[in-house]
Chains A and B, each alone.
Chain A
Amino acid sequence: MMDAVENDADRKRDYVLRTVEERGVRLIRLWFTDVLGRHKSVAISPAELETVFDGGLQFDGSAIDGFSRVQESDVLAVPDPSTFELLPWAAEDEPSGTMFCDITRLDGSPFPGDPRQVLRRNIDLAREAGFEMFCAPEVEFFYFADANGGVPRPLDGASYFDLTTADVSSDLRKRTLHMLEALSIPVEYSFHEDSPSQHEIDLQYTDALSMADAVMTLRLTVKKIAMDQGIYATFMPKPLNGVQGSGMHTHLSLFRDGTNAFHDPESDDGLSAVGHGFIAGLLHHAREITAVTNQLVNSYKRINEGYEAPRFISWARNNRSALIRVPIIKPGKTQSTRIEYRVLDPACNPYLAYAVILAAGLKGIVEGYGLPDEAVENLHELGPDDLASLGVQPLPSNLAEALDEMEESELVRSTLGDHIFEWFLRNKRAEWDDYQRQVTPFELEHYLPTW
């Protein structure tokens, strides 16, 4: 068995080395992610590739947010050959390839600051319990004319039927989809969203690790294709006042032995005990994991405004104000049984977000949490008394509150590991404190003329 595993790894490396040679690849970009979910890239030449496969690429981790430690700052980037892709936007005379990396310590053990390893570890725990998680996110974003001076200028929406700008964004979307398919990221749908200049790309389900990689690649691809046209794409959760922000609703399901573990034909709502437990776990721990799924000061501006973003911790089959929605499944499509977690936004670190979601859901299954009643009313329209009598809790209303909840959470600590847990809290507290000291346009507009 060990031999077979090693053999398999050798073949994957061979495949990459041979492809690099056959296709005349000039540059290989090694990709990884910092704790905040920002895309990092180091380029190596084909001549270095074999050495890097054998021993990893050594670099000083203290330059990367969330990697640094006083005693040990050097780490290794170890490329994952199964993620090798030729970059579809590389110039024809300079083919480039890319691979995602796992980050290890110099002795080869997983580096605790690497988000990809955090997700791997949690996927392995789920596997021990017999489950594989599948994810399918709906990623929203805006196209703006530029990001100059921090003022977002929508491409469309300024005037109706403005053909020129409509053409620009539909052409951008088409090009982006084409690139994503070439990067092995199948797109289910893509369309213009409600807000001016807002777009949505829905990805086809895949396993959680591949999907976290795919979200990283998608963000880079959307930005890159836009930038080529002199346009700025942003995944900032709430860039415009008064219109809905960008979310990353994610459809989730667990599979066991090749069949959908959320499905039970005998139950009233089509969901199994596993499905109920997963929902109960997510609801129970929702407040604790929100700092991870919604990590910016700005994230809470989207949540508080409502629209398609949930504000209350509830579940429902057909109620888009709920945190967790259980989509109605077409007859015979039982393998599609899934839940939709609606609070995530596209500025999250997808590795960490999927790790805490998986851990919270699993805990609900393993510990047999009871499932609260389904929310049938539109929760956005209820007052505080009604909500209290229904026993419905709100999500944290700002980053500070979310961090308080996270800090008390054993679940989040054990899921992320001490290193990332503590660094994340420190970094995000500093971000909040910084924000608290800012004089905002709101204050100037409201107070300056009066006082």
Chain B
Amino acid sequence: MTEIFGIILIEGLIYGIMALGVFISFRILDFPDLTVDGSFPLGAAVMAACLLAGIPFIPAFMLTFAAGSLAGVATALFHNKLKIPGLLAGILTMTILYSINLRIQKFSPNISFLRVETLFDKIHSIMKGMMGSTWSVLILLVLVTFVIKTLLDLFFHTDMGLTLGAMGDNEQMVIAQGVNPHIMKMIGIGVSNGLVALSGAFAAQYQGQADVNLGRGVVIMGLASVMIGEFLIRSNRISLLTLRVLLGSVAFRGIMFLARNLTFLSLRPSDLQLIYGLSIVLLLLLTGRKQKKNKRSV
């Protein structure tokens, strides 16, 4: 039973990193960025390529982050230079990434990690005898998400981070301060997708494979996590805002676990996308009732 909680926490934290990215684009920048569905499997693909090539973990994760950031920067460029809506810019990058991901995976839609040592295998072998694999993986992920969260909190306290925070709120004010809003969007969407790619790299290693279809519905999962988090804590402090995203992600995993195990519903794995979608509808209905006056919905 406690094992199940461990797994829910692990998945919650892995996808929580992605949810932090979604939080930056959807909430802080008010930019509905769908690149996420492409940059998540991009992270998995880059990580797979790095592992197969024998690149050590730290540079591999840095490469993953960089690849995701590039995808985000591409979306921001499409939006800024071609003057297309953010939604379309994201879909454009997402579509392009499908082919790119396949190329990175050498045209195989699925790469198994059976023959390589993933970060989780490594941790498990180091901690062997002291604790079970679930717990060693969980401790590692708590550390990783804590570091990422703290770095993000610090970033949003810098002058640049504060200005980024004003982007979604009042772009005109950012322009009035002599700051180029295009560059701000590039930085924000870049960091956001870098985090999403990191999350994809962790998810792939946890599942033991990189799959080009790994990204389907990810942005919806992230958004659901962000919205659940908003139910849990109300605050205007960035450290609590990032914390509630992670908590929301864990809660979302928990709810999904319950949904899967309600046997009378006889749900199949293929029903997951349906549940993700419906959970957003439900959350929107709930938040809509809670704050009728607030005009921003998603």
Partners in one complex: no
Interface residues of A (CB under 8 A from B): none
Interface residues of B (CB under 8 A from A): none
